């Protein structure tokens, strides 16, 4: 099979177009948290802060005496805190989605 410059150009253009296609139902922009029906930014900030305080409560487990074990413990603790924050927000009725899918006029908090 012989590729001409024209067929090569058409192939490249086709691949570029396929790569640029996106699913609009998945939204665009950064991931955000919002609470359906809450339109007051102060209420959103207060509710988010409450869950953030819950996720930050509890001491970090410092296990081990060398730098490697301390680093591993700190990374695991950060993941646990993020999970607690997510669970708290979901239990309070918050939704996690892309910014473009948040209804107009609804305040949100970036992830």
pLDDT digits (tens, 9 = 90+) for 41-80: 999 999 999 999 998 886 655 555 666 665 666 666 667 8
pLDDT at position 79: 79
CA distances from 66 to 33, 77, 79, 80 (A): 37, 17, 20, 21
Work out the percent of the chain whose per-residue pLDDT is above 90: 41
Taking the C-alpha atoms of residue 35 and residue 57, their distance in angstroms, rounded to an integer, is: 23
Q: Nearest Cα to 77, choosing from 64, 89, 90, 92?
A: 64
User: Residue 93 has which token pair?
Assistant: 């009725």
SS3 state at 104: coil
User: How many CB atoms within 10 Å of residue 10?
Assistant: 11
Instruction: State the chain's mean pLDDT as an integer.
Output: 79
């Amino acid at each position: 099979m012989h590729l001409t410059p024209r067929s090569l150009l058409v192939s490249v253009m086709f691949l570029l177009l396929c790569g640029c296609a996106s699913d609009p139902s998945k939204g665009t922009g950064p991931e955000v948290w919002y609470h359906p029906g809450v339109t007051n930014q102060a209420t959103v900030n207060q509710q988010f802060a409450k869950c953030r305080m819950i996720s930050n409560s509890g001491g970090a487990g410092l296990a081990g005496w060398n730098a490697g074990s301390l680093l591993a413990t700190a990374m695991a603790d950060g993941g646990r805190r993020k999970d607690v924050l997510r669970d708290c927000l979901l239990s309070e009725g918050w939704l996690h989605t892309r910014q473009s899918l948040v209804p107009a006029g609804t305040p949100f908090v970036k992830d």
